[in-house]
Structures are given as C-alpha cells and as structure tokens.
Amino acid sequence: MLGNFTFCNPTRLHFGEDSLEQLRSELSRYGKTIQLIYGGGSIKQNGIYDKVVSILRGCGKTVIDDGGVMPNPTYERLLEGAKKARENKADLLLAVGGGSCIDYAKAVSASAYCEGDPWQKYYLDFEEPTCRLIPVGCVLTMVGTGSEMNGGAVITNQEQKLKIGHVFGEELYPKFAILNPRFTMTVPYRQMVAGIYDAFNHICEQYFSGEDDNVSDRLSEALMRSLIDSSRIAVKDPQNYEARSNIMWAATWALNTLIEQGKTTDWEVHMLGQAVGAYTDATHGMTLAAVSLPYYRHILPFGLQKFKRFAVEVFRVETDGKSDEEIANEGLCAMEKWMRELGLAMNLRELGVKEDMIEGIAKATLVMDGGYKTLSHAEIVQILRESL
Ligand code: NZQ
Ligand code: ZN
C-alpha cells in the first residue's frame, strides 16, 4: 500500500541535442551577475565552456569565474565559493559539470548568506536554511547523481573525515537543468560506468525496502532494466547516442524523488560509500560498487521476497524447480556479472582502503533504519571486511 505523500519537483528540465539553446530564455529570468561554477577543466577541453560563456555574454551577463571545483567538493572550497557569491552579489549560480559542481552550487547558495557555520547547520545538525538563497541552474555534463533534479548537496569535510549529504527542500532544486547527451560523450570510461552504477544503486536504495506491490517499485524495475540494457550498449559503443540519452534520462528519474513516493527507502549502501569516500576521496559510484554485493548478500535473508522479485523482474532469472533463496541469490549473481562487465571496482582495496582504516570508516558510516535490517556496528565492520 502506498503511504501518504506530496510530490513536487520544481526543476524545469530541457533535454536533447539542442537543449543549450534554452539557456538564453532561462537567463532572462535572472539579474546580471552569474557565478559560473565548473570543475577541473574538462569543459574547456571539450568546448562546452566556450559555448556557455558566449551565450552568457550574448545575454549581457557579467561572468564571475568559479572554476576548479574538485570531485567530491570540500567544505573549505564551499566557504570560498560562498564568499565569492556574497562579495559579487551573484544573481544566479550556474553549475556546468557533474554532481560535484551542482551539489557545490546548492551548498554555496545556502551558505553565502548563512549566519553561523554552514557545516554545523546543514551537515551536522541537518537544519533547513533560514537565510536568503541564490537561485541555482545547471548544465549537466556527467550522468549519475541525479543532482540536476533534486535537492541533494554532498560535501566532504577533510579535517573531520566526514562526507555528508544534506537534502535541501524545493527552494534549492535547480531552477532549470539542461541535459544534452552529447555533452557527456567525452566523460572518461571509468567515470561513465561509475555514473551508471551510481544511478542504478539509487534505484536499489529505494527498491530494497518494504514488501508491498506498488507502482513506485514497478517504475524502479523498468528504470533498472533500461539502465542495464543501455549500459551494455554504451560500454561497447560509448558514442551511441540512443544508449547515452536513455542512461541520462533514467539517471535523472532514479533520484528526482518520484520512485520513493509512498514507500520506505534504505540508503545504507550510500552511507557506507560516503564513509569510504571521506577516507579515500575515491569516485562516488566506485565506492558504492565495492560495498554493494557484500551488503545485499548480508541483508538478503531479511528481504527474501524482494530479492526474489528483483531476480525475476530485473535480471529475468528462471524460477522453475528453484527455491526462493536460490532465485534471490541468482539475481545477485546476475547483478555481479553485469557489474564485472562494466568494469566497476569490486573491492575496497582497489580504492585504496587498508585493513587499519576499517574501524574509522565503520564509525563514519551513518546507520539508516529503512532497509531490511538495521545494521549494528559489528555488522558494518563485517560488511566492510567482506568488501576489502
Ligand atoms: O572536473 P572536470 O575537469 O570537469 O572533470 C570531471 C570530474 O573529474 C569529469 N567530467 C565531468 N563531465 C565531463 C567530465 N570529463 C570529460 N567530459 C565531460 N563531459 O568527471 C569527473 C567526475 O565529476 P563529478 O561531478 O565529481 O562526478 P559525479 O557527477 O559523479 O558527482 C559526484 C559527487 O556527487 C555526489 C557524490 O557524493 C560526489 O560528491 N552525489 C550527489 C547526489 C545528489 N546531489 O543527490 C547523490 C549522489 O548519491 C552522490 O552522493
Ligand atoms: Zn549516489
């Protein structure tokens, strides 16, 4: 049974090869000063920077450069960006990049006029913003996080060795998002597959919780099947527009809040992955891949019917003459086979984790209670050990 919910997603999304053209009309809604947020330089190499800046200048905007945002943006960098936005009185924060740039833009928006310490307020106390916010818009260049159509903003505090996400409300969703699948064609292979797995795992996090038959889970199954099919094409032919565009759109729906409506959700794989990220700065999707199977195998007995359904509906496992346990386990084996085809990180050592880091990572892992089993500290340590 679906529970009560209110659904609103306020992001206006422009999709397709010609979608950057829509930036002009979007810009007409905002003042003159645009803080242009981008990463380490990929957009300068592939020409997206020139295209965006030429539209900004053509619309008479003043561009405040905020380039060099790192993957897994840090708290230190957030404070610099917030200062820049405040001092320049930015009217719009325009992020051109992947989840790191878009998350950073949302965090800058909530921090520029924040009274007090944004890390304490948003990331430790999970308070909502009470200050003036700066509108955020984005041009997505890397697929996976869903940040283009949600309120999530993940920041790493290197000093405290914590990577935490704040899920802001509607007012901090991007006002607009521009998604051109062609812009993602230059993403390196490893980032492409990490992004695909990130999107897939977002769906798993919402799917592996609860036992009811509901439309949210059926949508999830369709999205997972589409991602698997398209990813198998994209790994062989990364320039395949049909596959890349399907992956891009599926990844947005994976985390724009639709498929969580009316049901419980888990998110423990993300908590494990984020703690690993805080210790290693590894690519987000890879941290999830490395811990997923040990986690799912651990909780399978507590959510057996859902894992069986996953095997049948998502990986088309044959059921004849098999027990529920056998079917459910075959589903995870099929998932493992697919993950290996993609070339994902299948253990934590590949990401630089050493035995003596396990205890610290386990302590930094937040425990969620929406999944099939609420983990104890000892179970977290065990799952991390099995992931090594
Ligand atoms: O920095 P540049 O030079 O642009 O290179 C980036 C970066 O090195 C490169 N890249 C992006 N677009 C490219 C490209 N290279 C070539 N051509 C292009 N078109 O890709 C690298 C990774 O970019 P990044 O933005 O870090 O990746 P992603 O989109 O995976 O974002 C990861 C961050 O998002 C957070 C993660 O924790 C992590 O900090 N997440 C945000 C979520 C949300 N807002 O809801 C949810 C997710 O679960 C995730 O936690
Ligand atoms: Zn994720």
Quote the tokens at residue 356: 């003596």
Contacts of 292 (CB under 8 A, 6+ apart): 201, 204, 269, 339
97: nearest Cα among 40, 58, 154, 153: 40
Distance CA 157, CA 19 (A): 35
Q: Report the first-to-last Cα separation within the chain, whole angstroms.
A: 38
pLDDT of 144 higher than 90 = yes
Write out pLDDT tens, residues 249-307.
999 999 999 999 999 999 999 999 999 999 999 999 999 999 999 999 999 999 999 99
**Coil, strand or helix at 321:** coil
Q: Which residues surround ligand 1 with Cβ inside 6 Å?
A: 39-43, 46, 71-72, 97-101, 103, 141-142, 144-147, 150, 152-154, 165, 183-184, 186-187, 191, 195, 198, 255, 270, 284
Distance CA 146, CA 108 (A): 18
- Does residue 77 contact residue 39 with C-beta atoms inside 8 Å? no
- Does residue 279 contact residue 157 with C-beta atoms inside 8 Å? no
- Arithmetic mean of pLDDT, 218-246: 98
Over the chain, what is the mean pLDDT? 97
- Does residue 141 contact residue 60 with C-beta atoms inside 8 Å? no
In the reported structure, the alpha carbon of residue 238 is separated from the centroid of ligand 2 by a whole-number distance in angstroms of: 21
Q: From residue 55, give the alpha-carbon distance in Å to each of 18, 20, 24, 28, 120.
A: 13, 9, 7, 11, 37
Dihedrals phi, psi of 197, to nearest 5 degrees: -70, -35
Contacts of 318 (CB under 8 A, 6+ apart): none
* Half-sphere exposure in the Cβ direction for 121 (13 Å, CA): 14
Q: Which residue has the tokens 């890879």?
A: 286
Write out pLDDT tens, residues 308-333.
999 999 999 999 999 999 999 999 99
For the chain, give percent helix, strand, coil, nearest 5. Answer: 55, 10, 35
In the reported structure, the alpha carbon of residue 15 is separated from the centroid of ligand 1 by a whole-number distance in angstroms of: 19
Which residue has the CA at smallest separation from atom 26 of ligand 1?
71
DSSP letters, 236-304, are H-TT-HHHHHHHHHHHHHHTSSGGGTTS----HHHHHHHHHHHHH---HHHHHHHHHHHHHHHHGGGGH
**Coil, strand or helix at 212:** coil
- Per cent of the chain over pLDDT 90 is 98
Write out pLDDT tens, residues 64-94.
999 999 999 999 999 999 999 999 999 999 9
312: left (phi over 0), alpha (psi -120 to 50) or beta: alpha
In the reported structure, the alpha carbon of residue 343 is separated from the centroid of ligand 1 by a whole-number distance in angstroms of: 18
Q: Please list all protein residues whose beta carbon sits less than 5 angstroms from ligand 2, which is an ion.
A: 198
Residue 213 pLDDT? 85
Nearest ligand to the CA of 147 is 1
Distance CA 44, CA 380 (A): 42
In the reported structure, the alpha carbon of residue 198 is separated from the centroid of ligand 2 by a whole-number distance in angstroms of: 5
In the reported structure, the alpha carbon of residue 324 is separated from the centroid of ligand 1 by a whole-number distance in angstroms of: 38
Domains of the chain by range and CATH? 12-183 (3.40.50.1970), 189-387 (1.20.1090.10)
Write out pLDDT tens, residues 145-191.
999 999 999 999 999 999 999 999 999 999 999 999 999 999 999 99
Which atom of ligand 1 sits closest to the CA of residue 285?
30
pLDDT of 131 higher than 90 = yes
Distance CA 156, CA 87 (A): 24
Residue 212 pLDDT? 82
Distance CA 144, CA 135 (A): 22
